């Protein structure tokens, strides 16, 4: 556990309205698990100079002049983005300063979000990121362009924020026989993040006897860790059943593994994620 406490809760800050909630959830997680917090802003490289390669009718002198002009514009743009990013990070740091955290630092990175996060993977304990960034924040049916790439490349727990902060007091653990789901179960049982939470273990299956055995096993693990879990077997379409169950019981967050098979496969690469994230405002913790 001490080794884990040396790793960082990494918080992705951008200019979207959800950044405040990302900072709030990041501070909550860092405080609960006694880890330092790193607030990160990624600066995308400008695409201005690419236009010169598409200007086939220009003479060499014209192209040289255009390249110089665009390079100057790109430099100005970069300076403006760096300044804006520093302001975002300072605002986020001030927001979490009232929390009793081990340490808080800020960092700017150049390049895409997924690329920047992958470079920091070894020092990450949990990644906290908004479901959509500034470019897509007005479209609540879309997942941010960088999310899928980040999840494909990062093998760390990823906490995805899609609404205003509310300290979680309850959770739904979506459970099946996959390796990711087993990791999620062990994390709930062992991590101080979930201590004192009301835990619902839910599985979707058309085989009741197998579902009961699966739930009983998960229940035994959690009871041994001091929890008193609610166990639920759902019928019908797994995607809608899980969403309905969470809404019916007003559970504050969902924890699940990156499922590879069964009814719950295709997390984040199909309609299931869209439903879970577009039709409620509860965060999701994805375990790889």
Note the pLDDT tens digit of each residue in 140-193. Answer: 555 666 777 787 788 899 999 989 999 999 999 999 888 888 999 999 999 999
pTM: 0.84
* Residues 102-143: tens digit of each pLDDT: 999 999 988 888 888 888 999 999 999 998 655 544 555 556
Rounded CA-CA distance 213/52 in Å is 63
Tokens 């939470």, located at residue? 197
CATH fit for domain 2-46+83-161, picks 3.40.50.300, 3.40.50.620, 3.40.640.10, 1.10.240.10 = 3.40.50.620
Cβ neighbours of 107 (radius 10 Å)? 14
pLDDT band at 51 (very low <50, low <70, confident <90, very high): very low
* Residues 188-224: tens digit of each pLDDT: 999 999 999 999 999 988 889 999 999 999 999 999 9
Does 2-46+83-161 match 170-282 in CATH topology?
yes
Reply yes or no on whether the pLDDT at 54 is more than 50.
Answer: no
Residue 190 is predicted with a pLDDT of: 96
Reply yes or no on whether the pLDDT at 70 is more than 50.
Answer: yes
The residue among 282, 250, 279, 255 whose CA lies nearest residue 267 is 255
**So where are the chain's domains?**
2-46+83-161, 50-80, 170-282
Rounded CA-CA distance 192/73 in Å is 49
Residue 220 is predicted with a pLDDT of: 98
What is the CATH class of 170-282?
A: alpha beta
| Mean pLDDT in residue range 83-97 | 92
Least confident of 41-50, 65-74, 228-237: 65-74
- In the three-class reduction of DSSP (H, G, I as helix; E, B as strand; rest coil), residue 217 is classed as helix
* Residues 247-271: tens digit of each pLDDT: 999 999 999 886 544 444 444 444 5
Residue 198 near residue 188, CB atoms below 8 Å? no
pLDDT band at 48 (very low <50, low <70, confident <90, very high): very low
Residue 261 is predicted with a pLDDT of: 44
Residue 177 is predicted with a pLDDT of: 80
| Burial tier of 54 (Cβ tally within 10 Å: 0-12, 13-18, 19+) | exposed
């Amino acid at each position: 556990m001490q080794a884990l406490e040396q790793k960082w809760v990494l918080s992705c800050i951008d200019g979207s309205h959800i950044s405040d909630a990302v900072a709030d959830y990041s501070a909550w997680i860092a405080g609960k698990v006694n880890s330092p917090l790193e607030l990160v802003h990624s600066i995308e490289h400008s695409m201005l100079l690419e236009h010169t390669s598409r200007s086939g009718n220009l003479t060499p002198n014209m192209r040289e002049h255009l390249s110089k002009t665009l390079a100057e514009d790109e430099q100005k743009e970069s300076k403006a983005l760096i300044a804006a990013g520093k302001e975002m990070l300072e605002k986020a740091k001030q927001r979490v300063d009232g929390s009793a955290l081990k340490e808080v630092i800020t960092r700017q990175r150049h390049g895409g979000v997924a690329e920047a996060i992958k470079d920091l993977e070894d020092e990450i304990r949990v990644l906290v990121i908004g479901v959509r960034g500034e470019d897509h924040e007005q479209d609540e049916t879309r997942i941010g362009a960088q999310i899928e790439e980040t999840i494909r490349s990062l093998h760390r727990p990823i906490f995805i924020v899609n609404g205003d902060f509310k300290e979680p007091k309850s959770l739904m653990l979506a459970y099946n026989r996959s390796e990711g789901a087993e990791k999620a179960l062990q994390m709930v049982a062992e991590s101080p993040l979930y201590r004192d939470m009301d835990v619902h273990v839910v599985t979707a299956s058309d085989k009741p006897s197998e579902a009961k055995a699966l739930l009983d096993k998960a229940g035994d693990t959690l009871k041994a860790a001091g929890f008193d879990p609610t166990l639920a077997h759902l019928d019908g379409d797994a995607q809608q059943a899980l969403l309905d169950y969470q809404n019916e019981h007003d559970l504050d967050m969902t924890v699940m593994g990156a499922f590879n098979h069964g009814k719950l496969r295709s997390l984040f690469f199909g309609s299931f994620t869209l439903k879970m994230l577009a039709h409620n405002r509860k965060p999701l913790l994805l375990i790889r």
